[in-house]
Structures are given as C-alpha cells and as structure tokens.
Chain A
Amino acid sequence: MAEYISKIQEISKKILQDGKVDIVIGFSDGSLPMASRPCFIKSPEDTGKLIFDGNCGINLANYLTGKKEKIGIIAKGCDSRNIAQLIVENKIKREQLFIIGVPCFKMIDKRKTSLLFEEEITQVTESDDKIIVKGKNKEKTFNREDMLQENCITCMHRNPVIYDELAGELIKESDQKAEYEDVKKIEAMSSEDRWNHFSEMLSACVRCYACRDACPLCYCPTCFVDESSPQWVGKSADNQIDVKTFHILRAFHCAGRCTDCGACEKACPMGIKVRKFTRKLNSDAMRHYEWEAGLTTDKRPLLDNFRVNDYQDFIK
C-alpha cells in the first residue's frame, strides 16, 4: 500500500511539473477514520497529500463530467470503467486525461465495520489481509476479507481497463464467471414477495439523492426527478410510489452502463441496498448480451443500438 502511495505521489508530481495536466484528482486523508476523501491537487508541492487505502471507494470518475482542463486521475478498476464509459458518452475526451491506474485490492465497507465494532472508531490501520480498528476503549482485528464492500466481493475487474501509467503491478483477475446469486435470489421470489421486499427496503428513503449524486453516470443537466415540465415524478418522500418510481427509473437509466462501482450504496445515508436494482439489470445485460459496461471505448453502451432489420433470435 505504501508503494502505491509513493508511486501515486511520484507520478502526480511529475505530470504536474511537466505541465501534462492542470490538476490531479485523487484521495487524501479524511477528517475522520475510514473516510478518505477526494482531493484536487493543482501544484506539484501538494502531491504529498495524496494517499490510497481501503477507504477510497468513492468513484472519482464522477468529477470528470464536462471538465475542460487536463486532468490526472487516480483510477481503480471500476473508476477506469466509468472513465471509459464517460469517454464514449462524450463527457470527457481521452486526450484530456492522464490516468494513473491502481489495481484495486478491494475496498472496506465502513458501515459493516462500524456495526461490528460497536463503538466510535478513532483509528484504523490496514495490512494486506487484516484491519486493526481502534476505539477509545478497545482494539479489534478483523479479517480484511470479511469487511469488504459488497460490490468488491464479486468484482471481476480490479485492474484498470484504460490507464497511462500504473501505480502498482496488475493483479490476476478472478477467473470465475459472475454468478449474480443475489439477483437470482430476488428473481426467485413471487411477485408479491418481491414487491414487499422492495417496499420495505425503500421505505427508508428520504429522497436526498445522494445515490444519484455519487454516481458518475448521473450527469444530466436536469435530472428527471427535478424536472417540473413535465413533472415525471412527485417530489415528496412520503409517497412511496414516487419513491419507487425514482429508484427504478434511475436504475433503468443506468442499464447497460453501470459498472457496479458501489458509489450509490456507499453514499446512501440510510443504508439502502440500491444496487439491487442495477445488479438485476447488469445480470440481464450479461445473460442476454454478454455485455459488461465500460470495458472498451470503441463500443456504445448496450442499449444504444437499434437496427430496423433486427433479426429475431431464431436466425442467430
């Protein structure tokens, strides 16, 4: 991890000094433990602030939309896929970017850790397979594997898919196929059970839109929930139909584009498992079209294609 950090700092310093980029977007220490935060470095002298650890789950691609300057960016596997996606969707140009690729050692779930520790966390130290959590009164060591973000557990693309330089050696990716067991479980429910399941899950939603704001795919000038002419969906959190409409529609807007980076779920203050919707769509994209978002800058997302003469599947 220390090597990653020094390499990130070294590359960032160099590209800022050489004028290759105007700014580097990376992570710095947060004011609280387990809350590494995005930071924007403009001068080579400040590159020492850059860090990288298991708490860098925020998707930095989110800061690229519409930027005009040249940007250096730290990219995990998922960030890089979203960067590729943004390039395809004209949100940023490849030439504007210097991508510092970080093969990802999977991110830690802060909420899970806090729950298990049952006391305010004052300090966390990480090693390759352990995390040591300290509070005022106790110290506890966890297996890193047990504390991972849920999307990281099933991650198939830890290596960045596009980068200009790497901050560490590429990792051997999992050779298992994505199984989507979580999705299958929900698919197996009766439609009534499923409705109740989602109703229960979404009842906590306060319509703060943190999930939307954390998502690099949500870059519309006016989000459909904010639109008043026409008003597609009611704005109150009290109307459960409106709440469901928001979540389901938002998920559909991500169909064929979502990289399952987990930013939405991480951002939710109410701990709602909003990935359940996008996971279903990702699994359908895989099942029917063998499609995973953001793996290339050559192809438009899955649902951006249409042919007048589309063949029925009996031909293929």
Chain B
Amino acid sequence: MDESKCVGCGACAEKCPKKITDTYNMGLKDKKAIHVEYPQAVPLKYVIDPNNCIYLQKGKCGACKKLCPAGAIDFEQKQETLTLNVGAVIFSSGFNPFNPSALDSYRYDYRPNVITSMEMERILSASGPTGGHLVRLSDKKKPKKIAWLQCVGSRDMNRCGNPYCSSVCCMYAIKEAVVAKEHSEEGLDCAIFYMDIRTPGKEFEKFYNNAKEKEGVRFIKSRIHSIQDIVNSDDLRISYLDEDNKLQSEVFDMIVLSIGMEIDKNIVKLSQKIGINLSEGNFCKTSTFNPLETSRKGIFVSGAFGGPKDIPQSVVYASGAACAASEILSPARNTLAKKVEPIPETSVIGERPSIGVFICKCGSNIAGVVDVGKVVEYASKLPFVDYAAENIYSCSQDNQDGMAQLIKEKGLNRVVVAACTPKTHEPLFQETLTSAGLNKYLFEMANIRNHNSWVHKDTPELATLKAIDLVRMAVEKVAIAKPLSETELEVNQQALVIGGGIAGISAALGLASQGYDTYLVEKNNRLGGEANKIFKSANKENVQKELTSLITAAQNNDKLHIRLNSSIVNVKGFVGNFKTVIASDNKEETIEHGVSVIATGGTASKPSEYLYGEDERIITSLDLDEKFINNDKSLKKVKSAVFIQCVGSREPNRPYCSGVCCTHSIINALELKKINPDMNIFILYRDIRTYGEKEYLYHQAREAGIIFIRYLAIDKPNIKIENGKISVTVYDTSLNKYLEMEADLITLASAIIANQDQKLAKFFKIPVNEDGFYIEKHAKLGPCEFATDGVFLCGLAHYPKPIDESIAHGKGAAAKALTLLAKKKIRTSGTIADVEPLKCSSCGVCVSICPYSAPSFIPDDARFFAGKAQINPVLCKGCGLCVASCRSGALRLKGFDNDQIFAQISAAFEKAA
C-alpha cells in the first residue's frame, strides 16, 4: 500500500474476499485482509495483511488493486530497513494483555462466556462487535449475573510467573461493572472477586465506594482458583469461601477475567540485546531518583514498559521522559525541526464576496449516496458563488494545490468545502487558503459525510436534498464572514517553580538544565520538602543520600535561582507574561516569567486517634523514619512492633487513599526485621496496596515473617495502655476472632494531606477539589497542567505519590512548560470571544464561568469602560461558554457572529429552488 496515495475511502476492503480475525476487537469480529485497524485509525491508511492476502499468497485476485481509485495498491512493496541517526531514544513499547489460555482452570479457551477484560471493553463499546449491546457470546442473551475475577496473570508466581501487581485491573473492573450496570435495563448483578482492592489513584477510592454503596456492585474477598462448567448449560459456576468462612457456590452468566499486563517477549529480547536492564517482572529497570532513565545512556523509558501503569501515569511518565531526553539534547534544539515560511495575506475588505464551493465525493463515501453533480449545480446558482466544482478527494495533495490555484486565478475571497468533518479536516483546508494568500477564517465546511451520507444511506434522494441545504447554509454564513486576525505574543523565557520539594526541584532542574532561568521558591529554610524526613525508597535506596545529590545539582546549576524562606505575595499577568512578587527575608522582588509550575506539595497529617501523642512509643511512619535516619539505638530493643494502616485515610471525612503508606510501612517493617530479626511485627491493614512491582516487597515481608492482619473499617484496632504496657486488640477477619498483642512500638500510617494555599489558587485561578488537591486539566490526559494556560502542576499538590512518581511528575510538568517556552511566541486564535462594552452589565458571569480565565474586569481606574468585561485573547479558546451565558448580549464569538448564525438559521428554512 502506497501510504501517500491511499485516501482511506475503504473501497478496497469492501470488495476484498478474504476475511481474517479482527485483533482490534480481540478476535470477536472479522475484518478483511486489507483493512484499517479501526474506523478512527490514525493514519487512516489501509494495510494488507501479507500472510492472508490471496494475491500475495497465491498470485491471484488483486481485486483491491483494480478497484482503488487512488492507485495506492502496490503489491511489490518490500520490507525496508531504515537507519535513523538520533540523539535519544524513548522506549514506550507498552505491554501485552495477559493471555489466560495457559491457566486451564479458568476454562477461557473452552467456554465462550469466559472472556477477558479486554474483550469486555469491546463488548461494552458502541464500536465493538455487539454494537455496544451487553450480551454474552454463547447465545447473545443479555446476562443477569456477571463476575469479575481479579489478579488473572498478576500476583501469581505459581501458575504464570507474574508475581507483580498490574495496578490497573481493580479500577477497570470496577469501571466495567458500573458501566455494565448502566447498559443493562433489567438490572444486573455484578460481583468482583478480589484479594485486595487497589484503588490508590486520585478520585479512585471515591469511585470504589460509590460502586459498592450506590451502584450495588458486590465485592467478595476471595481468590477464585477455578471456574466450573455446568453440563448442558453455557452458565458457569464459582465456589468460594465467604467472609464467614462458609463455602458458597454461585452461578454466573458471564465471567470476566481481569487480566494483567505483561512485557512482550520480543521486547525482552530486544532490551537484553541493546543493554537495557530489566526488573524481576521484565519491566524496564529504573531507580527511584532516575525513574525515566534506562541502564543505557540516552535511552529513556515511558509508559507501561517502566512498570504497570494506568493512563494518567503513562502520560506523566511520557512527558517526563520527553523532558529527560530534551535535557541531554537541548543544545541541538531546533536544528532539525522544520519551519514553515509565512505567506503574505491579501486584503478582501470592501470587496464583493466571491465564493468558491468545492463538493467532495470522498470516493464513494459521499458520492455513493449523494448526487454530487446535483449539489454542484445547485451551489453554482447561489448568490455570490462564482465557482463550484466537485472533487473525488478534496483532501488529496493535488486537489489542495488545485484549490489554491483556483483561488488565485478566479480571485475567490471566500471558500466552502462540503466534505467530511471540520474536526479533522478544517485545519488542512485552512492551510490551503493561507497558501493562496487568503485569510483562513474566510472558510466554511459543510459536513455532508458524517452528518449526511453516512447516516442517510437508505434515503439517497433526501440525503442529496440535505446536502443542498447544508451547502446553502455554509454559503450564507461564509458570505458575511470577516477576516480574523491572530495576534502574536512573546513568551517570557523565564520560569517560576513554587515549592522546593522533590517534584519542584525536579521540575526546576528540568527547565534550568535546558538553559531557562528558573526561580525556585521554597517557604522553608531548605530544599527537599517531605523527602527530608524519609529514610528509604521503595527500591531501598538511601533517600537522604540521593536527595542531597539532587539538591546539590540544583544549587550548582547557575540557571536555577533558589529562594528559601520565601512566599508568593502577588501574581499578575497570564501565560507567557507573568509578574510575580516574591517575599523572602523581609524583602520583595518581582520576577517576570512565562510559565509557572505549582509544586506546593503535601504533608503527613497528625493522627487524632490510636492514642497518638499520649505515649512516645506510638509514633507515625515519618517519626519511625527519623529514628532510622538518626540510627536510634532504642529500636534494637523493640520486641514487638505493630503498624496500623489507613490512619486518617479512607475515612468518611477523608475518603481518599494516601497511596504510599502500605509500601512505606512494609519497607520500615523490613528495616526493623533487619535491625532485630527476632522482632514480632504485625501490620494491621484494610487492603494492602503495593501496586506494580512494589508487590515484591509485600512478598519479602511475608517471607521475613511479618504478620499481616486485615481489619475492617467498622471495627478498627483498639489500643490500651495499662501499667505502662501497650496492647492492641484487633478483629482478624480471616480467623473471625479478636486478637490481642503486646507492642512496644506502634507506627501509625498517617494520611497525606495537601498543603492548601487559597491565596495561590486565587492568584493563578486554579481549582481545588474536595480533598484539597489541585484539579488538573484532564484527569486522564492532562495530569501535568491546569486548564489555565501557562500554569503547570506536579507532585503531592496533585495527589499523594511516592518519590519516583513525584520526580516523573516534576519532569512531566517541566516538559509541558517547555513546549510553551520553546515556542517563544504564542499565536492567538482568530475565533475568540469579544466584548461590546456598551452592552456589558458587569455582572461577571463570563469571569466566573470561563474555565480558562480569559475574561476579566477592566480595572476601576481605567479611563474607559471601567468595570466592564474584557477578554484576554491569549487565554481564550473560543469555546463560546461566556457568549452563551451573557444575558446582556455583550459577548460575541468571532467567526460565529450572531449575524452569521442567523444567516445559517434562515438559510436552513429556505426551500431549495
């Protein structure tokens, strides 16, 4: 397939006689030997599966080649080997979903109603094999009972050799259960069989609680070893011990195996070949303080290859890896990237509209339904239309060139393209206008494919009429379109990082080491934040030693300007042009900067229960770290140590999980064992959440004889001090009885809380959630930035996280900030909101409602229109929220002006002649 020629029309796949398994749909559907992965695939280019193509195998057929209107089929293509000379490599090879076929007892290969979670995703998806209808595969019946079995291919060293936790399965199983319930009209019973529910991410615990309490998803703590067949039935049986240790047997319509992540064998081989060290679980080996570097210099890691990760984590590490790579390449920045030369724009002001209309056939996509010739004929008679024509593919390069030529030749000053969706193609056509010297906003698209030919296949005459209507509306709108201007704004090349903890230092170093003057503001008298109090990392590195070298690197970087004992007094300006007043030691200085990184961190809370503060033997995890750091001899004498988990976390008044405490307690428990191997150590927990490869620590702890006792939130451990002796009583849920143990050291895993700073939130106009953490731009795709441009987020201010994740997050925020600094100039969009101050009533709806902080009030001391609203064109995204909310009608959206919309509306109701 010649990629440059294929236009993605799909004529080839329609006629291809050979069916193959659709791997995108997890084999639940067929596709053709010539195919795209999925309809929205990028790039939308068809490929031939050479192992199944009849022509390539037997030399016959070639139907696709005969049919292809673009002449894109090339059977002679051979595999090529390319050698790329690059400065750095980022390894983000991802993972394979675990294949449960090998685990015979789950009957996956034998029973159609045992499916994997990936298959479940496809079944729930509207684009999936069942069209989004939740049915079981054996008989297409709607299921009434579905079970999810957790940890299939994870936390299992005996049967599949994957002892690690895949981190994401608990959360996706809960999501699938909740979504499945939504799909089902008659009510659906969803049961999740688990060992520990691991929902340590941001807002995850809330989702879990909601699924349990409001949605009625059943959570059953039991690892299911096998699924039993039922004779003459497609149903399946599971046997398990319930909380009262009674044997239960339940029949389900469907069973979903929550499969884990695995690294592809070829990636393992490749890694070994090129010198990338792997971890025990075959993930890329990294260290806590260098979470993005592989063992081979210049090769960085992102995504699940570096350890099981969910989407936001993958995005954080991906941006972090980009920063790490950029750090070593920064001297060569902009040496290879290509730049486009600007073309001068011709003025159309005062000219009579002269509209060119191009109707796209989109191969047979549109022309197969709509009578394109008729639409062209109609369009050519519309007012101000001086040219109308059809194209087979308007988006192909030769048609683009032709369109630019026609604009110049015919002197067209407005263009309508009736084709597909502006979402994907508007920028392309606008570029064509620009290349012809026409303002790109003198353009309108009519979507006669997605909104018309695709949905009205069965009524072609009506579809043609609709296409005519859509074209007429677009012509009416574009006729009164005005050229819009995009202004340019310099981006100040300095950066400000607020918070000098691990995340803040990492972000600041990421920027400073690439040559940007960076101000790092810390409220305390030293850098390092909470990490100053931590003894060992999850990789058992000495945190103090590593932290010292990180701080030294920061101090030695002459582009990094550290301000200790400092606070932010005021912030003015916006993306590219901030002015911040920093107060340090009674003196104030004003820093101008283009980007701001918020890394204000979090802190361990002081427990208000378990007699904390009443006895010096009852301490927090960080207190214990302090003892380790100081080499406290008294620890040697401890005979019995008890750790209590979830102190202040996962409680009604603080519902989130603090994420790091399970691992922290286990590391500390192992450390105590090292000091005194005879020490009795108990960890009282609710769920052990050693996600990812931290699971190995959990194993080690169990092997070291540390005793784990699960307690329930409704019956928490009880501490008594009598005659100087501390005793702990706890209800053991697996023995179903109360246990009492003596302890001479009790460590409380206290919750992590955000360092809340209302003033800062106000200065930067950034939102805070119910738990006190900042709300990022997008929970999944924008974890390192805020919705407000130019403000970035990292570290504990976002959510509790361990050191490696904080560093990755810091670097991720730096990478995002870098993309802005690297631009040097910001170009505003033309389609932005605009205020007519005479109509403005100063009510402030726009200021309040805008998620991007674009509207503000004109200052009271201004000569004109004081107190009225104004729009910052740099921050405006043209979403139109303010325009729709403005009762006074003072706001308008350029490019979607009232008269344009009205023209479209009245055109819609005109009768086609």
- B701-733 interface (Cβ within 8 A of A): none
Chain A CB within 10 Å, residue with most, of B178, B839, B843, B898: B843
The listed residue (A221, A224, A304) touching B840 by CB distance below 8 A is A221
Min distance, Cβ B593 to any Cβ of chain A, angstroms: 24
Flag whether B215 is at the interface (Cβ < 8 A): yes
Docked Cα-Cα span, A25 to B881, in Å, equals 37
Assess the A303–B885 pair: CB atoms within 8 A: yes
With A89-B844, A309-B779 in contact, is A221–B767 under 8 Å at CB?
A: no
Complex contacts, A305 vs chain B, CB 8 Å: 848-849
Contact with A along B875-896 (1 / 0, CB 8 A): 0000001000101110000000
Complex contacts, B838 vs chain A, CB 8 Å: 221
Assess the A314–B778 pair: CB atoms within 8 A: no
Assess the A222–B778 pair: CB atoms within 8 A: no
Complex contacts, B842 vs chain A, CB 8 Å: 89-91
Considering only CB atoms, which chain A residue lies closest to B887 in the complex?
A253
Assess the B885–A304 pair: CB atoms within 8 A: yes
Docked Cα-Cα span, A306 to B880, in Å, equals 12
Assess the B843–A89 pair: CB atoms within 8 A: yes
Docked Cα-Cα span, A232 to B901, in Å, equals 12
Flag whether B777 is at the interface (Cβ < 8 A): yes
With A308-B851, A315-B207 in contact, is A220–B182 under 8 Å at CB?
A: no
The listed residue (B844, B851, B887, B888) touching A300 by CB distance below 8 A is B844
With A221-B839, A308-B851 in contact, is A227–B889 under 8 Å at CB?
A: yes
Flag whether B902 is at the interface (Cβ < 8 A): yes
Docked Cα-Cα span, A89 to B845, in Å, equals 8
Flag whether B105 is at the interface (Cβ < 8 A): no
Complex contacts, A303 vs chain B, CB 8 Å: 845, 885
Flag whether B210 is at the interface (Cβ < 8 A): yes
Considering only CB atoms, which chain A residue lies closest to B769 in the complex?
A309
Contact with B along A198-239 (1 / 0, CB 8 A): 000000000000000000000111101001001010000000
Assess the B845–A220 pair: CB atoms within 8 A: no
- A49-92 interface (Cβ within 8 A of B): 88-91
Contact with A along B824-863 (1 / 0, CB 8 A): 0000000000000011111111001111000001000000
The listed residue (A90, A220, A316) touching B888 by CB distance below 8 A is A220
Min distance, Cβ B779 to any Cβ of chain A, angstroms: 6
Complex contacts, B678 vs chain A, CB 8 Å: none
Flag whether B604 is at the interface (Cβ < 8 A): no
Contact with B along A282-316 (1 / 0, CB 8 A): 00000000000000000011011111110000111
Considering only CB atoms, which chain A residue lies closest to B787 in the complex?
A308
Considering only CB atoms, which chain A residue lies closest to B857 in the complex?
A90
Complex contacts, B62 vs chain A, CB 8 Å: none
Contact with A along B775-812 (1 / 0, CB 8 A): 10111000000010000000000000000000000000
Flag whether B377 is at the interface (Cβ < 8 A): no
Contact with B along A111-135 (1 / 0, CB 8 A): 0000000000000000000000000
Min distance, Cβ B555 to any Cβ of chain A, angstroms: 38
Complex contacts, B867 vs chain A, CB 8 Å: 90
Flag whether B899 is at the interface (Cβ < 8 A): yes
Flag whether B206 is at the interface (Cβ < 8 A): yes
Assess the B888–A222 pair: CB atoms within 8 A: yes
Complex contacts, B775 vs chain A, CB 8 Å: 307, 309
Docked Cα-Cα span, A194 to B149, in Å, equals 52
With A219-B841, A220-B841 in contact, is A304–B848 under 8 Å at CB?
A: yes
Docked Cα-Cα span, A314 to B888, in Å, equals 35
Interface size on A, residues (CB 8 A): 25
Min distance, Cβ B207 to any Cβ of chain A, angstroms: 6
The listed residue (A90, A230, A314, A315) touching B843 by CB distance below 8 A is A90
Assess the A222–B844 pair: CB atoms within 8 A: no
Contact with A along B415-430 (1 / 0, CB 8 A): 0000000000000000
Interface size on B, residues (CB 8 A): 36
Assess the A221–B851 pair: CB atoms within 8 A: no
Min distance, Cβ A315 to any Cβ of chain B, angstroms: 6
Assess the A307–B767 pair: CB atoms within 8 A: yes
Min distance, Cβ A135 to any Cβ of chain B, angstroms: 44
Complex contacts, B787 vs chain A, CB 8 Å: 308
Docked Cα-Cα span, A237 to B777, in Å, equals 48
- A130-145 interface (Cβ within 8 A of B): none
Docked Cα-Cα span, A315 to B878, in Å, equals 29
Docked Cα-Cα span, A268 to B867, in Å, equals 33
Complex contacts, B210 vs chain A, CB 8 Å: 314-316
Contact with A along B226-267 (1 / 0, CB 8 A): 000000000000000000000000000000000000000000
Min distance, Cβ A273 to any Cβ of chain B, angstroms: 23
Complex contacts, A90 vs chain B, CB 8 Å: 842-844, 857, 867
Chain B CB within 10 Å, residue with most, of A301, A303, A308: A308
Complex contacts, A232 vs chain B, CB 8 Å: 889
Considering only CB atoms, which chain B residue lies closest to A309 in the complex?
B779
Complex contacts, B844 vs chain A, CB 8 Å: 88-90, 300, 304
Docked Cα-Cα span, A88 to B857, in Å, equals 14
Min distance, Cβ B770 to any Cβ of chain A, angstroms: 10
Contact with A along B196-218 (1 / 0, CB 8 A): 00000001001100100011000
Assess the B848–A300 pair: CB atoms within 8 A: yes
Min distance, Cβ A121 to any Cβ of chain B, angstroms: 39
Complex contacts, B889 vs chain A, CB 8 Å: 220, 222, 224, 227, 232
Complex contacts, B178 vs chain A, CB 8 Å: 314
Complex contacts, A304 vs chain B, CB 8 Å: 844-845, 848-849, 885
Min distance, Cβ B485 to any Cβ of chain A, angstroms: 23
Chain A CB within 10 Å, residue with most, of B207, B779, B889: B889
With A90-B842, A305-B848, A307-B767 in contact, is A230–B899 under 8 Å at CB?
A: yes
Considering only CB atoms, which chain B residue lies closest to A223 in the complex?
B888
Docked Cα-Cα span, A314 to B177, in Å, equals 12
Min distance, Cβ B575 to any Cβ of chain A, angstroms: 16
Docked Cα-Cα span, A90 to B855, in Å, equals 15
Min distance, Cβ A304 to any Cβ of chain B, angstroms: 4
Considering only CB atoms, which chain B residue lies closest to A232 in the complex?
B889
Min distance, Cβ B515 to any Cβ of chain A, angstroms: 33
Complex contacts, B203 vs chain A, CB 8 Å: 315
Min distance, Cβ B562 to any Cβ of chain A, angstroms: 34
Docked Cα-Cα span, A42 to B54, in Å, equals 97
Docked Cα-Cα span, A305 to B849, in Å, equals 5
Complex contacts, B848 vs chain A, CB 8 Å: 300, 304-305
Complex contacts, B840 vs chain A, CB 8 Å: 221
The listed residue (A219, A221, A308) touching B777 by CB distance below 8 A is A308
Complex contacts, B215 vs chain A, CB 8 Å: 314
Assess the B841–A221 pair: CB atoms within 8 A: yes
Complex contacts, A220 vs chain B, CB 8 Å: 839, 841, 887-889
Chain B CB within 10 Å, residue with most, of A219, A253, A306, A316: A306
Min distance, Cβ B199 to any Cβ of chain A, angstroms: 13
Contact with B along A13-44 (1 / 0, CB 8 A): 00000000000000000000000000000000
Complex contacts, B898 vs chain A, CB 8 Å: 230
Min distance, Cβ A211 to any Cβ of chain B, angstroms: 16
Min distance, Cβ A63 to any Cβ of chain B, angstroms: 16
Docked Cα-Cα span, A54 to B210, in Å, equals 50
Docked Cα-Cα span, A230 to B867, in Å, equals 25
Other contacts beyond A309-B779, A315-B210: 13, CB < 8 A: A89-B842, A91-B842, A91-B843, A220-B839, A221-B841, A222-B889, A232-B889, A304-B848, A304-B849, A305-B848, A306-B851, A307-B767, A314-B214
18 A-B contacts (beta carbon < 8 Å) = A90-B844, A90-B867, A219-B843, A220-B889, A221-B839, A221-B841, A222-B888, A230-B902, A300-B848, A305-B848, A306-B849, A306-B850, A306-B851, A309-B775, A309-B777, A309-B778, A314-B178, A315-B207
Closest 3 CB pairs of A and B: A220-B888, A304-B848, A89-B843
User: Interface on A for B, CB 8 Å cutoff?
Assistant: 88-91, 219-222, 224, 227, 230, 232, 253, 300-301, 303-309, 314-316
